[in-house]
Amino acid sequence: MDQQPSNAEEVVIGEEINHARVITLNRPRQLNVISSKVVYLLAQFLEKWEKDDDAKLVIFKGAGRAFSAGGDLKMFYEGKKSDDSCLEVVYRMYWLCYHIHTYKKTTVALAHGLVMGGGGAMVVPLKFSVVTEKTAFAMPEASVGLHTDCSFSYILSKLPGYLGEYLALTGSRLNGKEMVAAGLATHFVPSEKLDELEKRLLCLNSGDTSPTVQAVIEEYSFDVQPDEGSILNKLSTIDKCFSGESVEEIIKSFEDESSIKGNEWIAPVLKSLRRSSPTGLKIILRSVREGRKQSLPECLKKEFRITINLLRSVISGDVYEGIRALSIEKDNAPKWNPPTLEEVSKKNVDLVFQPFSDELELAIPAGEESCRWGGKYEESVYPKLIGSQLTQF
């Protein structure tokens, strides 16, 4: 499948073809990670096309072998001594997530390859999200001391049973078939048909766009079921273990289940859990649990607070230690602080969830309007980011 755009210098390519508009994430060597420039360009294209009466359809895709591997962790690591630049990109990224959830045009993601972290925010909320046999979805934030962000405390909390807690805490991957079965994607199309599907979409005329787009995608899509060994066939065990009130209870229950014949799949998942940031795990569980009762704007505002507080090391520097171990020195041996779940106090966890003063909160609307994931919005116009706001944190 040829996904190489013609302009190799731009990190995001925006094309206007007939009544379609195409966004290509174009950092294939970096697995299309999301940098500050990527966020800025995405926002510019989306804002422009939402106001363009001739634009009926917006397509998202990634160059190379990934849709997007999520946020540019090195950017945050290198910017840890310069609060303003990091705070600004975080603010803009959360507005971008909100805008994608509530976008007024018909949207399609052609999600071929890796879809991780923030990359998922450009796939799951879209009206139509197409995946292939080469798609791999994961939320691996716990492994680097981060939290489930970019609206995924909202999205994962809406999955069947306690699958959302499982995916958020373990960072486990889902393939394309599993994404469709879980409701994280709308259609499965074999990778060899993706180019042909895109060409058909680009040739669509204006009119009743959404039903027409759906009909075209369905010509190429297949009904799929998870493979026999899929984690989705183990939901009874997941629900039993990941319904626990605390991370400690969840791990203990999971350990008990691992000794039962047929549950050999649990051991590597437990290993991943134990290697993750204790602070990150406790924040993630609380955030996803809260997401079950929160609206989209409430989740985004909450996640914004948590992200800002983690980047400012309000209770722990785990995020920078995790990035160092995973992406900078690559020794895969992070030294978490504190090192155990028992040492992570509720008082400290409470601190990262505390609301900011009104002028420092993420300023997104809280009106009533539905989107694919049941979110809320009024207007999708990006606010001017005031420099003095940043310095007050």
* Whole-number Å distance between alpha carbons of 24 and 186: 20
- Cα gap 25→40, rounded to integer Å: 12
Q: Any residues with CB less than 8 A from the CB of 85 and at least 6 apart, and which?
A: 36, 79
| Residues 6+ positions from 361 with CB-CB distance below 8 Å | 301, 304, 305, 355
Set 71, 120, 171, 375: catalytic member: 71
Question: Does residue 149 carry a catalytic annotation?
Answer: yes
141 is catalytic: yes
What's the CA gap between 122 and 99, in Å, rounded? 10
Dist. CA 200–CA 195, nearest whole Å = 9
Tell me which of 141, 165, 198, 303 is the catalytic residue.
141
Contact 139, 195 (CB under 8 A): no
User: Could you tell me the strand order of the sheet in which 136-138 lies?
Assistant: 66-68, 114-116, 136-138, 174-175
Choosing from 149, 165, 198, 303, the catalytic residue is 149
Marked catalytic residue, from 62, 118, 119, 176: 118
Active-site amino acid positions = 71, 118, 141, 149
